[in-house]
Chains A and B, each alone.
Chain A
């Protein structure tokens, strides 16, 4: 528990550092970011206990680069608050679904959803329920809820979540859990941005399982993007912002993985592997048969 408290403190501190770094590098970031061109609609979802203001910088950044980004419009995200996830998500379809539909009609184009943490879970589940009006989903450190796997969340946040909603994660997740999408359904791109330094959601919970990524194809791309960032500061971290803009511009029918090297000058290329640390191959490839063989 003490470790989790320490992790939370470090994460909060890191977020402040990222905000400062973002402000200091604003000019460079704006110079490097490609332009979206035609006011593509983007709806952003704040994380647990955060309000729409937490995504102010993200929205402003996207608006400056040819997108029309706006927050979800429901104020502070307080989680399901006593209802089951299913009920909460159904009510969200009624509340935020209308906004998504209106945006899609206004622009005559599907809407991209970007969500931080729990907001990413909402974005993922909403897209599953209304894929015809969604363009793609980008999640920033968004967890999955498994009905019986050991929880990968910071215990302080889990306890707080329990206090707010009076339900354990297993209860909220229900029988089927809230997992990442299947490899082929819905046929939309899904990007999970996650961090090895995340103090709240363990990367094992945020990362799209490798077997899903392996089975996915260009009709429904699934991509993991590892960035060095805190959990709370993901929406202000300049490296994450750059990645979000790039992924929003990526052609859906010809999906290419994110290449951070193209945005950095030669003199800073050495920093890319630090800012976007690649996952070790052996850690990603899990062969379940080893478990059957080991007798564990």
Chain B
């Protein structure tokens, strides 16, 4: 079942965002559990931080907010009572799971025996599967039902509860204790963005922009040359006219020497301007080719 095409209540958007963050954390937890490098206590730091967050925020704030929403749903739609009871039981179980995994993580980090690691992997994988199915069921079944059944007054109450809770990791302000975990994800995001930039130069859009920048540079260079040629030619006409207007030889030579100076100055101007256009065009073309924007 898909969500109806209406403006979703803020509470639903927030809860779904939190699900996305939890999915990211579960994925990272799974990657770490599969990692072969679990030989030193610090190899467990990331997993410990993730599970601690799951225990301290989703278990104590996110799930109780959902419970409040489900209570309202049962009041409005008693047919959902069985589903809600099931989800409530799962919330309790998930909270017990995270507490247990935290203990197993401490044990595995301390003893680093294959048995301790195996117990950790088994418990964590059950937890990851259970939480994923749980979130999927909520989003597919109960969230759409809540959107249809709950009036604004109920949503207001749920949103009030959400506003009183502060996500210590993904909220507007990162709590000091979660900065290590937050900066780990910032680093991963940066790496992802760098990878995207690295392959950006293969995109046709970038090539078109780059070619456009080259073309603009060539046109600018051509216009500049034309403009200077015109001014040289205009000056030459004036000089020729002045040289043969019956003036003395000395005066004619000095007019022509003045023109020679003008040609020299124009050549310097053209050279420096051409170099500026050349380097600017190359830079623009390269930036567009690699990044697509400036």
Contact stretch, chosen from B70-78, B188-196, B258-266: B188-196
Q: Are B183 and A149 in contact (CB under 8 A)?
A: yes
Q: Are A149 and B184 in contact (CB under 8 A)?
A: yes
Is A176 interfacial (CB-CB < 8 Å)?
yes
User: For B177, what are the chain A residues with a Cβ–Cβ distance below 8 Å?
Assistant: 176
Q: Are A294 and B192 in contact (CB under 8 A)?
A: yes
Is B222 interfacial (CB-CB < 8 Å)?
no
Cβ proximity bits B270-281 to A, threshold 8 Å, 1 near / 0 not:
000000000000
User: For B193, what are the chain A residues with a Cβ–Cβ distance below 8 Å?
Assistant: 282-283, 286, 290
Question: Which of B23, B45, B170, B187 lies in contact with A175, CB distance below 8 A?
Answer: B45
Cβ proximity bits B165-195 to A, threshold 8 Å, 1 near / 0 not:
0000010011011011011111111101100
Q: How far is the CA of A291 from the CA of B46 in the complex (A)?
A: 17
User: For B186, what are the chain A residues with a Cβ–Cβ distance below 8 Å?
Assistant: 209, 211, 286, 288
Is A204 interfacial (CB-CB < 8 Å)?
yes
User: For B40, what are the chain A residues with a Cβ–Cβ distance below 8 Å?
Assistant: 168, 170-171
Is A131 interfacial (CB-CB < 8 Å)?
no
Question: Which of B43, B45, B180, B192 lies in contact with A291, CB distance below 8 A?
Answer: B192
Q: Are B179 and A286 in contact (CB under 8 A)?
A: no
Looking across the interface, which residue of chain A has its beta carbon closest to that of B187? Answer: A149
Question: Which of A147, A168, A292 lies in contact with B45, CB distance below 8 A?
Answer: A147
Q: Are B189 and A288 in contact (CB under 8 A)?
A: yes
Q: Are B42 and A147 in contact (CB under 8 A)?
A: yes
Question: Which of B17, B183, B188 lies in contact with A146, CB distance below 8 A?
Answer: B183
Q: Are B42 and A286 in contact (CB under 8 A)?
A: no
Q: Are A290 and B189 in contact (CB under 8 A)?
A: yes
Q: Are A209 and B24 in contact (CB under 8 A)?
A: no
Q: Is the interface of B mostly helix, strand, loop or mixed?
A: helix
Which residues of chain B from 227 to 250 have a CB within 8 Å of any chain A CB?
A: none
Q: How far is the CA of A168 from the CA of B42 in the complex (A)?
A: 10
User: For A294, what are the chain B residues with a Cβ–Cβ distance below 8 Å?
Assistant: 192
User: For B43, what are the chain A residues with a Cβ–Cβ distance below 8 Å?
Assistant: 148
Question: Which of B23, B27, B176, B192 lies in contact with A182, CB distance below 8 A?
Answer: B176
Chain B nearest CB: distance from A267 CB in Å? 15
Q: How far is the CA of A182 from the CA of B24 in the complex (A)?
A: 25
Looking across the interface, which residue of chain B has its beta carbon closest to that of A150? Answer: B187
Given A146-B180, A148-B184, A291-B192: A211 and B174 interface contact (C-beta under 8 Å) = yes
Is A251 interfacial (CB-CB < 8 Å)?
no
Which residues of chain A from 129 to 168 have a CB within 8 Å of any chain B CB?
A: 146-150, 168
Is B21 interfacial (CB-CB < 8 Å)?
yes
Is B20 interfacial (CB-CB < 8 Å)?
yes
User: For B179, what are the chain A residues with a Cβ–Cβ distance below 8 Å?
Assistant: 179, 182
User: For B24, what are the chain A residues with a Cβ–Cβ distance below 8 Å?
Assistant: 291-292, 295
User: For B17, what are the chain A residues with a Cβ–Cβ distance below 8 Å?
Assistant: 289
Q: Are A209 and B192 in contact (CB under 8 A)?
A: no
User: For B189, what are the chain A residues with a Cβ–Cβ distance below 8 Å?
Assistant: 286-288, 290-291
Q: How far is the CA of A150 from the CA of B193 in the complex (A)?
A: 16
User: For B183, what are the chain A residues with a Cβ–Cβ distance below 8 Å?
Assistant: 146, 149, 179, 209
Q: How far is the CA of A148 from the CA of B182 in the complex (A)?
A: 12
Q: Which of B17, B23, B174, B177 has the most CB of A within 10 A?
A: B174
Q: Are B20 and A177 in contact (CB under 8 A)?
A: no
Q: Are B45 and A148 in contact (CB under 8 A)?
A: yes
User: For A286, what are the chain B residues with a Cβ–Cβ distance below 8 Å?
Assistant: 186, 189-190, 193
Q: How far is the CA of A75 from the CA of B23 in the complex (A)?
A: 50
User: For A168, what are the chain B residues with a Cβ–Cβ distance below 8 Å?
Assistant: 40, 42
Q: How far is the CA of A204 from the CA of B189 in the complex (A)?
A: 12
Q: Are B192 and A290 in contact (CB under 8 A)?
A: yes
Q: Are B192 and A296 in contact (CB under 8 A)?
A: yes
Q: How far is the CA of A283 from the CA of B189 in the complex (A)?
A: 11
Looking across the interface, which residue of chain A has its beta carbon closest to that of B170? Answer: A288
Chain B nearest CB: distance from A82 CB in Å? 17
Q: How far is the CA of A295 from the CA of B192 in the complex (A)?
A: 11
Chain B nearest CB: distance from A86 CB in Å? 15
- Nearest 7 Cβ contacts at the A-B interface: A170-B42, A292-B20, A148-B46, A292-B24, A147-B45, A291-B189, A148-B45
Q: Can you list 27 pairs linking A and B with CB atoms under 8 Å apart?
A: A146-B180, A146-B183, A147-B42, A147-B45, A147-B46, A147-B180, A148-B180, A171-B42, A176-B180, A179-B179, A182-B176, A182-B179, A211-B174, A286-B189, A286-B193, A288-B182, A288-B189, A290-B192, A291-B24, A291-B188, A291-B192, A292-B21, A292-B23, A293-B20, A295-B23, A295-B27, A296-B188
Given contacts A147-B42, A179-B179, A288-B182, 15 further A-B contacts (CB under 8 A): A146-B180, A147-B45, A147-B46, A147-B180, A148-B46, A168-B42, A182-B179, A209-B186, A211-B174, A286-B186, A290-B189, A290-B192, A291-B185, A291-B188, A293-B20
Residues of B within 8 A of A (CB): 17, 20-21, 23-24, 27, 40, 42-43, 45-46, 170, 173-174, 176-177, 179-180, 182-190, 192-193
Residues of A within 8 A of B (CB): 146-150, 168, 170-171, 175-177, 179, 182, 204, 209, 211, 215, 282-283, 286-296
